[in-house]
Structure formats: structure tokens, C-alpha cells
Amino acid sequence: MRNLEPRRARWMKVRLGMLVTGIGVGFLTLAARAHELQIRQAPHLRELAQQQYDREVHQAPRRGTIFDRNHTALAVTVDGASLQANPRALRRHAVDVVALGTRLAGVLALEPRQVVEDMRRDLGFRWIKRNLSPDEASAVRAIMREYTLRADDGLSLVNEPHRWYPNRELAAHVIGAVDIDGHGIEGIEYTLNERLRGSSAQLRGVRDAMGRLVFAEGLTPGEGSAGHDVTLTIDKTIQFIAERELGEMVRASEAVGGSVIVTDPRTGEVLAMASYPTFDPNFVGRSAPEDRRNRAVAERYEPGSTMKIFTIAGALDSNTIQAGQLINTYGGTFTIADRTIHDTHPDNWMTPMQVLARSSNIGAAQVGLALGADGLERVFRRFGFGERTGLPLASEARARFGERRWYEVEVATVAFGQGIGVTTIQLAQALGAVANGGLLLRPLLVSRIHDATGALVEENVPDGGRAVIDPRVARLMGEMLTTVTEEGGTGVSAAINGVRVAGKTGTAQKARRNGRGYDDSRFVSSFIGFAPAQRPEVVVTVVIDEPSGHDHSGGAVAAPVFQRVTEETLRYLGRLRRSGATRASAGDALPPAMRPLVPTPIRRESPVNSLANRGAPVAVPALVGMTARRALVTASALGLQVELRGAGTVVRQEPSATETLLPGQTVTLVLEPGSGAPAIQTSPSVESASGERSP
């Protein structure tokens, strides 16, 4: 600058100073911004980066499988697709959410307005629909291709495990169901939820340039601690038999509902537990709470004459009465205090066996009075009444009694089952003690639990039980109860050709819904029994709630269900010879999707169904327009079997009234509500017990 003019030199210095100053200011600004980003805002920016690239995934484990006693799957976990949306990403990519939402709603059977509203929300995540069917998932993929949408564009299908019940309604009340998030809400799914669902896993990963999630260290989304597998004592085939027969009778008698329990008296294992109405756990949201109630364990009712078994057994065991003793039944009418008791089959004197065979209320009342209030209560408590059985079902009712001392008139009526509440499972447990020689066994429903590796975690074996009556008394009771199903007894409809059957009918009035006393038009009909009487294989308990029609007795309504369930079960177990009248096998009646899963021993034809034994052809009667009960009576009088579909009045029959059939062949009837026939409805549970009227 020495060679420059002084003026120009000064200008150069000024320019150089301005440059240095500018550079310095820029450097200082950059340093300040770097400090702001790297020091002060570092935690926030790190969190944003992790949200964009790092991902912590909550991985739900696979829920354990529920099996029947033969290792047939009753509840499984399968992979399904669910549709999720990122409304912010849809807005960022300028997607027409009105058109897209309308299209999606059409294929997913959703309300278009709701879908569009969900996709417009200022959110980063929103479920559109979970657990899509394969057809729905395919339709959604087609729409995404049409709109050229990728997963990071705001709409994506994700794999999500969900519960599936391959047998639909079969054993629904026992198995239960899960909610949309896979948590148990009914049955075994609820009570063993912690065991079945396993433990969750947290997986970390990063997103690649395409937005796809990449897991490190070899982890995959399927890993985690899987739930335990549960094996039930239920036998799928016996369960199907019980549900089929129960459903047919409830529909035929136009009853409110009913329950059937089949147990093994030697072990206490529950082989079947059926309740009607029923529901499909695959679509639990479509069912009413009444349909999901397990009537076999949740409903308390007055049992009626079935309690005479335990009154007389307890009296014999305590030597209060003798087997050959004559009991005064006062010609069929007996008054105690302000109460008059009647017998349907009156006589002056009866033995204990005749009291059971003719279902004498007065005879049972005399035995109860001989035991006294304390003695009768002790007898019932020994048989397990008044306490829960301990089944792993949250809905089991306690059915308590004895909170106060019974008066004399109450002792008389409680002795024949009026004024005391029980559940179906309590009756099944108590009768098992008579059948097995006097031991009260804890009912078993869950036999084994295995972890995901197959290792045995828990095994429930039959307990030793406790003695409630002497084995000789138990054998004597078995002999006495066979007279109920023989000529002159009230339960002849429960008899099985070639097998001695022990059992007891019950017909109890229900308490009035509004007011004191009992309703003359509402009854609970029941039959409990075991077979073969000399060496029992199964105990079957049948309860039908509020059957309609003139004959609502346990012998007319519940006993036929017992007969068919017991006969088919013994045949399936290989304990029954091929003789006498039989129904079509359970395997032949199964829905097509279930037939391969049914064991084959019951898929045989009885000789009675062969052409040689059927007799002359009969003309099919005109059944259209009849109620289910009248149609059953009309067809049965001609020796024809009846298959009912629906409820109400017969609107169609196959074959028609112009054709002929051989005795033993089946007429299929389609019924619908209307034309004077009421639809089957459920009623609110009646917690107070009802009176008993002898069949």
C-alpha cells in the first residue's frame, strides 16, 4: 500500500476492516447458533431425531392356545391385518381424504362420515379398523395401489395377532372371549388371562430411507415371551352333543334357556358344559349380555324334586330312616302351619324308594322334618351346597343358604327343593358323590398348563375328595334312583335301552317377578342322573328354564335331553352296545367345517335305522303353521325324527307333506317368529328360589 495514493490506501484499509468485521460477526453468529443447537437445544433435537429414525416398538406376545382334552384347538391366535392412518402425513401428501375415506368405508362396512372425520384429525396415528378379514385386506390394498399410497404416505396395513375360535359357538361360555386388544373378558380367557397372554417385549430399531423399520441384533417383531397353552377337561364331541340336544329342546319347548353339564364321577372332570342361548366369540360385540351368561354356573334357581335325592341319602346315612321304612304321605295332602303340601301321585304310605320313584313332596317333607333344621342343613352342606365349587370361572354364583335358622314349615319345603337356591354345577358335583360311592370331588375344568416351549407348568389332578355318605348308602341310592326311569316312575323318558339309568326329575315353580309367592305359569324343569347305574361312567345334569306348553314337567322336557346326551356320550366312549333306538350320530350332524375334527367312533348307524327294521312307509304330515312343540308331537307319533332350525312357527318343511318316509327318518323344519309364535327371548335372572311341584 506504500505505492498507493494516501486516499486510495485509506479506502483499502476501510474495506479490509469491513471485511474482517463481517467475517468476525458471521463467525460469532455461527458460533452462537451452534451453541444454541448443540448445547441448549440438544436434548430436544435428539428426541426429534429419535422420533424420526429410532423406534421403540411395544411387541405384544402371542396368546396361548386353549385345547380340549384330546388336544383339539378351541382358541388360537392367528395373524391378521389392521388398517391405520397418519392424518398429518395424508395432509402433507395432499391426499383427498373425503374420496379416500368414502372408498375405505365402503369396503370395510364402516360409516363414511366417521372414517373421513378420523382421517382429518390433527394426529399422527389413528386406527381405521382392526382385525380385517382377508377379503377386506385385499380390497384395501387395491385402493392403496389406486392412490399410489405407501406406508409412509399416511395409510398402512399392519400385521396384528388376533384371537380366532375355529369352532364358533362350541363351548363359548367355557372358553370365553377377548376384546379388541386381546384381553380376556369372558370365561377361561378372562380368569386365566395372565397365563394366556404372556409378557410384552420392547424392541428398538431404526427407520431406513424408505421409512421401513429395521431391527438390530437379529430381533424380529414376532419375538417375545409367548403365553401359556391351556388344556381343558372338556371333550369337544361330548360338548357338541350336549349343545345340540340342549338347543333343540329349548327351541322346541320355546323355553327361555337352559344348561347341560356332563361330568366323570370318578374324577370330577367336566366333559361338557353347555348353556343356551349362546354366542360366537369371534364376534362377541354382536352378542347380548344375556347370551354370554353361563347359566350352568351363574344362575341360582330352586331345584325342586332333584333335592329329594340328597335329603333321603342324608337321612339313610344318619340312620334317621331305614330303607324299608314306611313313610306316612297322608293320601296326597299334608298341612303344616299355614302351608298345605300336595302330591301329584297320592298314596297313604310309601317307602323311601317310592318317595323317589313317585316324587312325593309329602314323603320328602316327612324325612326332612325327621332330620330337623340343623340335620338337613348339615346334609346339604356335606354335599357341597351353599359354597362355590371352585371352578376357574369368574361368573360362578355362590348360591348361599342357611343365613338364618329354618322354621318347621321351611324344613318341610326345603327337603323337597323349595326355598333353597342351587346352581347346575353344584347339582352335578353333589350327584357325582352318589354315583362314585360317596366321595365329593372338586370339579375339574383345567387339566394342564404348558409354557411356549412345551414344558409343563401346572397340572391339576383329581383330589381325594371327602366322604359325604357311606358307600353302601350310595349304592342303595343308585338302586332306588333306577326306579325313577322304570315303568311307573316320573322319568321313564330318560331310560336307555340296554343300560340301567339312575336319576331324578324336578319341576319347580319360579318366584313371581313382582310380588310374593310363586308364578303358576313359569317353571324350571330338570333331570339329573348317571349311567350305567351299577358302574357310572357319566353324570348328566339338565336344566330347562321356563318351558312352555301343557306338560312342562322335568320328565317331559329335561329327561329326553338327558336320555339323548347320555346315550350318545356312552356310545362315543365305547361303553354302549348297538342296540335299541338311537339318533343320528354327532359326527353326521356337525357343520361341514367341523366334521374332520370329530372323532369317528360315533359315526356309525344303529340297527334300528336300517331298512330291515324301519317298518312300513308313512306319509309325511303337513307341519307348516304349527308350533315347534305341536310339530314334534305330530311327527313323533308317526315314528319320524325332527330337525329344528330356528324358533317360532314352522314356515317350511323338507320333505313336503306329499312324500313318504320310513319310521326313523328325519323331517327338517324351518321355523320363524311370528304368526302367533313368540320369538325366544331371555328373561332377567331370578335370584330368589322357587317352589317345587312334583312332575
Positions marked active-site: 305
Counting beta carbons within 10 angstroms of the beta carbon of residue 651, is it exposed (0 to 12), middle (13 to 18) or buried (19 or more)? middle
Q: Where are the alpha helices (DSSP H) in 231-305?
A: 236-252, 289-292, 295-298
Counting beta carbons within 10 angstroms of the beta carbon of residue 146, is it exposed (0 to 12), middle (13 to 18) or buried (19 or more)? exposed
* Bridge partners, residue 505, by sequence: 527
* HEC assignment per residue over 577-609: CCCCCCCCCHHHHCCCCCHHHCCHHHCCCCHHH
Q: What is the DSSP letter of 623?
A: -
CB atoms under 10 Å from CB of 432, counted, come to: 27
Could you tell me if 624 and 650 are in contact, meaning their C-beta atoms sit under 8 angstroms apart?
yes
Residue 607 CA to residue 29 CA, distance in Å, equals 103
Q: Cis peptide leading into 221, omega within 30 of 0?
A: no
Could you tell me if 411 and 364 are in contact, meaning their C-beta atoms sit under 8 angstroms apart?
no
Report the SS3 class of residue 649.
strand
Q: Where are the alpha helices (DSSP H) in 198-280?
A: 236-252
Residue 537 CA to residue 529 CA, distance in Å, equals 11
String of DSSP letters for 556-575 = HHHHHHHHHHHHHHHHHTT-
User: Quick one: cell of 46?
Assistant: 435428539
**Cβ burial 290-314 (10 Å sphere, 16+ → b, else e):** bbbbbbbbbbbbbbbbbbbbbbbbb
